């Protein structure tokens, strides 16, 4: 019986104790660009058939794999990796893409100060394709372009003190830093975590377009989306300001992270309602 109680105790400790994270080696690199958030505030969707048709701010022409499946050109997602198709065939099948962009942009809290430059993730593109597809490992990354240059930033993700305390910051290894220069927020705390900036908010400026229904939409299926939303753990006024359209206690978070923290709430409540005398009697049997 004592052995069983010990196992139960260890299980509860494992479930409810803070998770210990290993420091993750981060090989990400970022480029400072010549764009600010002001540029992306009212930008319009631009259709395309190849990367060459897209403007400087875009990282390429994105064509959803679903379009090829729906037209019967390929049978499954894996076939996209071997598909070579001409512009003429795209037009004939009424398939087109959008000029994709994906930027991390600061917006100063003090509106009298001009906003700083946005950054992008640096990555190598698949040169065998004339467009971007859903299974490109570097879909949201950029090659070096005129006006872009490498910086010392290794972390764009961050949390805030409240979200860490509440355990909503589920991937602490992804915000590990050695000093302020590692963090896009320029705020590395004494525990070596990137926190949100005291001077500016960080937004993700991007677009997504459902070419099957001709509607703009973000990853959560919210239509008419093309612009800038606050990253997770940035302070906000309501859900509409957040990239994941979800917030708690005045800051943006991912709803999945919230659910992960609270998935045992009902169990905790049931345990707390148990009569201690019953447990004692049961243990004495």
For the chain, which residues make up each domain, given as ranges?
2-284
> What was the pLDDT predicted at 173?
87
> What was the pLDDT predicted at 120?
97
Average pLDDT score over residue span 137-158: 92
Average pLDDT score over residue span 110-122: 96
Residue 245 has pLDDT above 60, yes or no: yes
pLDDT confidence band for 79 (50 / 70 / 90): confident
Across the chain, mean pLDDT equals: 81
Average pLDDT score over residue span 226-251: 93
- Say what percent of the chain tops pLDDT 70: 74
Task: List the structure tokens of 171.
Answer: 């991937």
Residue 275 has pLDDT above 60, yes or no: no
Between 236 and 4, whose confidence is greater?
236
Residue 267 has pLDDT above 90, yes or no: no
Residue 205 has pLDDT above 70, yes or no: yes
Quote the CA–CA distance of 240 and 119 in Å, as a whole number.
23
Residue 158 has pLDDT above 90, yes or no: yes
Beta strand 119-122 with 141-142: parallel, antiparallel or unpaired?
A: parallel
Cα radius of gyration (the chain): 23
Distance between terminal CA atoms of the chain? 9
CB 170 within 8 A of CB 18: no
- CA-wise closest residue to 195 among 235, 145, 135: 235
Residue 14 has pLDDT above 50, yes or no: no
Residue 223 has pLDDT above 60, yes or no: no
Residue 55 has pLDDT above 90, yes or no: yes
Quote the CA–CA distance of 170 and 248 in Å, as a whole number.
15
Residue 213 has pLDDT above 50, yes or no: no
Partners of 143 in the β-ladder? none
pLDDT confidence band for 285 (50 / 70 / 90): low
Quote the CA–CA distance of 105 and 111 in Å, as a whole number.
15
Quote the CA–CA distance of 186 and 183 in Å, as a whole number.
5
Which one of 5-19, 57-71, 215-229, 256-270 scores highest in mean pLDDT? Answer: 57-71
Quote the CA–CA distance of 107 and 104 in Å, as a whole number.
10
Strand arrangement of the beta sheet that strand 60-62 belongs to: 47-48, 97-100, 60-62
Quote the CA–CA distance of 86 and 24 in Å, as a whole number.
42
CB 117 within 8 A of CB 147: no
Average pLDDT score over residue span 173-181: 93
pTM, two decimals, is 0.79
What is the separation of C-alpha 33 from the centre of its chain, rounded to a whole number of angstroms? 19
């Amino acid at each position: 019986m004592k052995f069983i109680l010990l196992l139960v105790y260890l299980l509860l400790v494992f479930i409810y104790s803070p998770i210990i994270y290993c420091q993750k080696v981060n090989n990400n690199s970022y480029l400072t660009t010549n764009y600010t958030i002001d540029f992306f505030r009212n930008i319009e969707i631009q259709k395309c058939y190849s990367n060459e048709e897209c403007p400087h701010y875009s990282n390429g022409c994105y064509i959803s794999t679903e379009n090829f499946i729906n037209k019967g050109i390929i049978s499954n997602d894996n076939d996209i990796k071997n598909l070579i198709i001409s512009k003429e065939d795209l037009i004939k099948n009424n398939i087109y893409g959008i000029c994709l962009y994906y930027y991390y942009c600061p917006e100063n809290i003090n509106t009298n100060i001009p906003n700083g430059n946005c950054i992008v993730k640096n990555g190598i593109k698949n040169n065998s394709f004339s467009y971007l597809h859903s299974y490109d490992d570097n879909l949201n990354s950029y090659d070096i372009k005129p006006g872009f240059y490498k910086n010392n930033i290794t972390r764009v993700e961050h949390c805030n003190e409240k979200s860490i305390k509440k355990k909503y910051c589920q991937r602490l290894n992804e915000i590990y830093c050695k000093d302020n220069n590692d963090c896009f927020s320029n705020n590395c705390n004494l525990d070596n975590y990137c926190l949100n900036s005291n001077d500016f908010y960080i937004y993700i400026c991007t677009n997504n377009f459902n070419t099957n229904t001709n509607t703009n939409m973000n990853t959560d299926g919210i239509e008419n989306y093309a612009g800038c939303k606050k990253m997770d753990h940035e302070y906000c006024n309501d859900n509409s300001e957040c990239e994941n359209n979800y917030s708690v206690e005045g800051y943006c978070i991912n709803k999945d992270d919230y659910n992960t923290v609270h998935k045992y709430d009902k169990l905790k409540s049931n345990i707390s309602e148990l009569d201690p005398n019953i447990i004692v009697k049961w243990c004495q049997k």
